[in-house]
Amino acid sequence: MPRVVLDTNVLVSAHLNPAGLERAVLNWALEQGFFVSEPILKEYQDVLLRTKFKIDSDLATKSLGLIRSRATLVSRM
């Protein structure tokens, strides 16, 4: 299995364009598994909650919870 880390831009684009390729990548990663670290999770949270993106905070919180439950947390990348 490939070792996958999602770039924050992919995560943001997946939320902004549900019909886009980035959403397909996010869905694949959630199904197949991917890697995160605490700093990456913090970056995901900070960026998803930026007001300029107008992503609903409840949706962002739900997505972050799903990522935490499905991704493999690593201490070093």
Q: Mean pLDDT in each 10-residue stretch from start to end of the chain (77 residues)?
A: 92 97 97 96 98 96 97 86
What is the pLDDT at residue 20? 97
The model's pTM: 0.91
What is the pLDDT at residue 77? 54
| Cβ(34)–Cβ(67) below 8 Å | no
Q: What are the extents of the domains in the chain?
A: 8-73
Query: Cα-flanking dihedrals φ and ψ of residue 50, to 5°?
Result: -65, 130
Residue spans of beta strands (DSSP E) within the chain:
35-36, 72-73
* 6: CB partners within 8 A, 6+ apart: 25, 26, 29, 34, 36
Among residues 39, 34, 27, the alpha carbon closest in space to that of 71 is found at 34
